[in-house]
């Protein structure tokens, strides 16, 4: 069954390039980014895995643990890791799950038979510290993901988890935000001491509160 926002992220134990990993234990009290790849030794996946490795520090800064998955076996992942380091300039530095029996792929509905009945699509699940799914994204095999966008949405998810705000179109960390309509002007005075600009009663813009 498809996983929806707010669902608990299904737990599992799997073999990875960094040994056996139990998802919920691995994530601990932090955030997680679980992402699937269609296949080892494929060009787009090679660039994606390299980019996640190169930019792992930016996920660490946000207390987000990376974990990838593809349906190829562990010995294949280990051989492919050499190509990733050679061509992308950074060695794998997060676990890549070997899922030849498709246990994780099925648990997270990562195989979309009308796209391809054996390979996983490019799924993304952002998991919060409460182990609930905060974001899902699905890309086809032909389109690589954008690490900047993943970091951007994580910034939004983490900000909006802590403040009564929402982030507008094309928002980036540091930009102004929107006071959620559920907050009255009276309550907003205490929560947003920097003030706000009311464009409409439902559209109130305020500086990012944690900056």
CB pairs under 8 A, 24+ apart, for 4-10? 4/133, 4/136, 5/133, 5/134, 5/135, 5/136, 6/132, 6/133, 7/132, 7/133, 8/131, 8/132, 8/133, 9/34, 9/125, 9/127, 9/131, 9/132, 9/133, 10/107, 10/108
DSSP string, 37-80: -S-TT-HHHHHHHHHHHHTHHHHHHTTEEEEEEESS-HHHHHHH
Q: How far is the CB of 170 from ligand BEZ (least distance, A)?
A: 28
**Residues 89-128 interacting with ligand BEZ (rule: CB under 6 A):** 119
Answer for which of 3, 74, 137, 141 binds ligand BEZ (CB under 6 A) is 141
- Binders of ligand BEZ in range 38-57 (CB under 6 A): 38-39, 42-45
Nearer to ligand BEZ among residue 42 and residue 160 (C-beta): 42
**What x-and-dash track marks residues 146-185 binding ligand BEZ by CB under 6 A?**
----------------------------------------
Q: What minimum distance in Å lies between the beta carbon of 46 and ligand BEZ?
A: 7
Which CB, 27 or 121, lies closer to ligand BEZ?
121
Q: Does the active-site annotation cover 123?
A: no
Among 9, 23, 33, 45, the active-site one is 45
Query: Known catalytic residues?
Result: 45
Task: Give the footprint of ligand BEZ on this chain (CB under 6 A).
Answer: 38-39, 42-45, 119, 141-142
């Amino acid at each position: 069954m498809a996983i929806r926002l707010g669902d608990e992220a299904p737990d599992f134990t799997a073999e990875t390039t960094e040994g056996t990993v139990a998802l919920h234990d691995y994530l601990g009290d932090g955030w997680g980014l679980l992402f699937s790849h269609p296949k080892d030794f494929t060009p787009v996946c090679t660039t994606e895995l390299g980019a996640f490795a190169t930019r792992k520090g930016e996920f660490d800064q946000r207390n987000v643990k990376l974990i990838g998955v593809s349906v190829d076996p562990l010995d294949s992942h280990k051989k492919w890791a050499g190509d990733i380091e050679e061509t992308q300039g950074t060695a794998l530095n997060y676990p890549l799950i070997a899922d030849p029996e498709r246990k994780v792929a099925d648990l997270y509905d990562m195989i979309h038979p009308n796209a391809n009945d054996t390979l996983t699509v490019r799924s993304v699940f952002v998991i919060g510290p409460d182990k609930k799914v905060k974001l899902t994204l699905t890309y086809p095999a032909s389109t690589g993901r954008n690490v900047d966008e993943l970091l951007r949405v994580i910034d939004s998810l983490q900000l909006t988890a802590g403040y009564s705000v929402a982030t507008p179109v094309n928002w980036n960390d540091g930009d102004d935000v929107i006071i959620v309509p559920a907050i009255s002007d009276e309550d907003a005075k205490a929560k947003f001491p920097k003030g706000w600009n009311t464009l409409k009663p439902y559209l109130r813009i305020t500086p990012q509160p944690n900056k």
